Chains A and B, each alone.
Chain A
Amino acid sequence: MPRTPRPSATFPAAVIEQIHELSDVGHYEIRGWGAKRAVPSFDDLTFLTSSLTRYPLEGYREAIDTTTVLGAGRAERPLVLDVPITIAGMSFGSLSAAAKEALGRAASAVGTSTTTGDGGMTPEERQASAKLVYQCLPSRYGFTPADLRVADAVEVVVGQGAKPGGGGMLLGQKVGERVAAMRTLPEGVDQRSASRHPDWTGPDDLRIKIDELREATDGQVPIFVKMGATRVPYDVKLAVAAGADVVVVDGMQGGTGATQDVFIEHTGIPTLPAVRQAAEALRDLDVHHDVQLIVSGGIRSGADVAKALALGADAVSIGVAALVALGCNRSTTTGDDRSPPEDVTDDYLALGATPGTCHHCHTGRCPVGITTQDPELEARLDVERASRRVENYLRSLTMELTTLARACGKSDVHNLEPEDLVALTVEAAAMAGVPLAGTSWVPGAGAGLP
C-alpha cells in the first residue's frame, strides 16, 4: 500500500517553493501590496449598537456629521475634509499618471484629500486634487519649494507600515523618461531611496525640519508626520514633541509599490493595536483630537473606518483599497467610450498571478494600467471610469461608516468611542484594549504595557 504523502508543517509547499526561488536567484523576493498573512484585525471587533439602553439615529431623517478637520491647532488653513477617509501617499512612478489623476478626481468629488509620494508632484494630480498633501521623504526626489508652496498640507514621512525602517524602491522597468526626469535619475536603473532623511535623524532634529517646513509654507498649512507602526507610544509622543500637527500611523498591513517580502511580512505591528497605542499616547499628552490621528494599513470597509475612529483615530487613509477600487486585480480593463472592457487574465497569468492574487506592482507590468509606466498598459485605465469607481467606493465607505455610527446613537462619526466595541478573540481584546465579547475582561489591562 502506498502511503499518503506527508507534508511538513515547517516546510509546506509554499516555503519549499520560496527556498527554491531564493536558491535560484540569489537575492530576496521583491513585491508590492502589504502583509498577506492573517493578523488580528478590525474584523475581530464588533459594535455594541443601540437597543434599549441607547437609541439609534434615524437613517434618512437625522443628520450625522462626517466633517473632519486636520491641523486646526496651528495652521492658518487647516485641512477640512467632508469625510474622514483620505487617500494615502502613492508616488507617480509607482503609479501611472492616469491612476494618480483618477485618485485625485475621486477624492475631490467626495471632498477629501489625496497625497503625493516619492518622486514629487505632477501637474495633473495637483490640478485633479482639490486638497493635496505633499510628502517630504528621505530621498527628496522631486521635492521642490515651488510645489511645497502649492500644497494643502505637508507630510514628513518617517516610515511606512509595509517597511518601517526601510526606504522606497522603484525598479528600473518603471523608471521611464518622465519619472527619471522628475527624480533626476538615469532611466531604466533600479532606484533605492534612502531609509533616513539626509538632514535629520531623531526627534530633536525633526523639530528643526518641521519649523523649516512651517516657515517655508508661511504657517499656512498643517504639517503631518507619518510613521510605520513599531514603537508606537514613544514615536507618537516624539512626533508631537517635534511639532507635528497631525500624526499618521501606518500598521503592518499597509501596502507598498515594491519592497522586500521579508520586510512586508515581518516588521511592525498590526493596525489594530497601533491605533489604540497612538490614541493613548495622545491622551497621555492631553492632545488627543487637538493633534489629529490618521490611521492606515489594511482599511477596506466602512466597518474598518468606524472601528478605527472608535479606537481614537480622527481619520483613516486608504492605499491598496483605493487601487482595488480603481480596478487593481480585476480581470478586465476599464474600457472607454470607444472600446469595451478587455479581459486581461492572460497578462496576470504571465506575471505568475491571477486576478485576485496579484501583487506584482513592482514589475511595472500591471495588467490594468495602474502601477505601470508603460504607455500601452497605462492606456488600459480610463481616468473618467476609474475615478468614478473610486468615488463610488469612497461614498460607499462613508455610508457604511454612518450606518454604524447612527446605530450607535452618534450624530457625529467622531463620537464613536472604544466603549462601543467588544472583541471576538482574546488577542484582539488585548490589542484593542476592549473587553472580550460577553465579558468585562480586557486582557493586559492595567499591566502597564506600552
Chain B
Amino acid sequence: MCGIAGLLITDPDQRPQLGALLAPIFEAMTPRGPDSAGLALYGDGVEVHKQVGPATKLTADMALADRGGTCGIAHTRMATESAVTTEGCHPFMAGDDVGLVHNGSFSNYATVRRDLAATGVSFDSDNDSEVCCRLLAEQLAAGAGLAEALGSVPDRMDGFYTLLVATPSEMAILRDPAGCKPAVVAEGSGWVAVASEYHALSELPGIDEAHVFEPAPLEVHTWRA
C-alpha cells in the first residue's frame, strides 16, 4: 500500500521549479504511505533520499521546494510484507541511475528473487519491489531500452502494480494487466506529472488545460526530459 508521485520537466525554463512543484504532490500521498518516504531527483546526476517517517519530514529535511532538476520520482510507503527500514524504502535503483517506485504487490517475487540470486544478483532488502528493480536492471544491462525492459516486466512478475521509472533522460509508467492499482497522469505545458490520486495534481499551475488520463493496463508510457 503506497503512494507514488512523479514530475518530469520538459521546458528548460521551468527546471528550477521542479522541487517546488513536486513537493506538494509528494506530500499529498502521505495518507497512502505514512511509514517511510523516498525520492530520486534527477538533474546534474541523480540523488536518492529515503528515510523512515512521513514525506513532509523528508521534503523539509532536504529542502525539496528549493531544488531544481529535470525529473523526480517519489514514494510514500505503507509496508506490507517487509520491514519498515530505510533499506525497504523506495525508490530502488537499477544500475547506476534507473529509479523505480512501485505501488502494489507482486505475488511471485520469491521465485523471481531465487532465480536472480542463482545468477549472482544480490539484494539489499527483502522487499518485493527491489526484485522487480533488479530484474529491470538485468534487462537494461543486457541492452534493452527502458520501454522494452518495462514492457517485459509482466512476462516475469505476477501480481498488481503501478510502476513509475525514471532515468536521467526519461520517465515511464506501467500498470498491471487488471489496472488494479491507480495512477493519474497529467501532461501539462512544459511538464508531465504522475500521482496515485488526482487531488495531488489539482494545484499544479495549468492543470485545467493539461491532458489528464489514467494509463490503460499494460500500456507503457514514456516521456523525455
Contacts and interface: CB of A to CB of B under 8 A. Distances in A.
A in complex with B: yes
5 contacts: A53-B80, A53-B105, A62-B178, A415-B111, A417-B108
A62 B177 CA distance: 9
A283 B158 contact: no
A412 interface: yes
Contact of B158 (A50, A412, A419): A412
A410 B108 contact: yes
B160 to A, nearest CB: 5
A52 interface: yes
A52 to B, nearest CB: 7
Contacts of A58: 178
Interface in B110-135: 110-111, 114, 118
Q: How large is the interface on A (under 10, 10 to 19, 20 to 34, 35 or more residues)?
A: 10 to 19
B160 A409 contact: yes
B118 A419 contact: no
Q: Is the interface of A mostly helix, strand, loop or mixed?
A: loop
B209 interface: no
A418 interface: yes
B111 A55 contact: no
A173 interface: no
B178 A283 contact: no
Contacts of B158: 409-412, 415
Contacts of A52: 1, 80
B159 interface: yes
B81 interface: yes
Given A54-B159, A55-B180, A409-B158, A415 B107 contact: yes
A415 B180 CA distance: 19
Given A54-B159, A55-B180, A409-B160, A419 B80 contact: no
Interface of A: 50, 52-55, 57-58, 62, 283, 286, 408-412, 415, 417-419
A403 to B, nearest CB: 15
Nearest to A284: B118
Contacts of A418: 110
B80 A415 contact: no
Interface string B144-166: 00000000000000111000000
Given A286-B118, A412-B158, A419 B178 contact: no
Contacts of B118: 283, 286
Given A53-B80, A62-B178, A419 B105 contact: no
B103 to A, nearest CB: 12
Interface in B86-124: 105, 107-108, 110-111, 114, 118
B173 to A, nearest CB: 19
A54 B111 contact: no
A286 B118 CA distance: 7
A283 B81 contact: no
Contacts of B105: 53-55, 409
3 nearest CB pairs, A to B: A409-B107, A53-B80, A415-B108
Nearest to A286: B118
Contact of B110 (A50, A55, A283, A417): A417
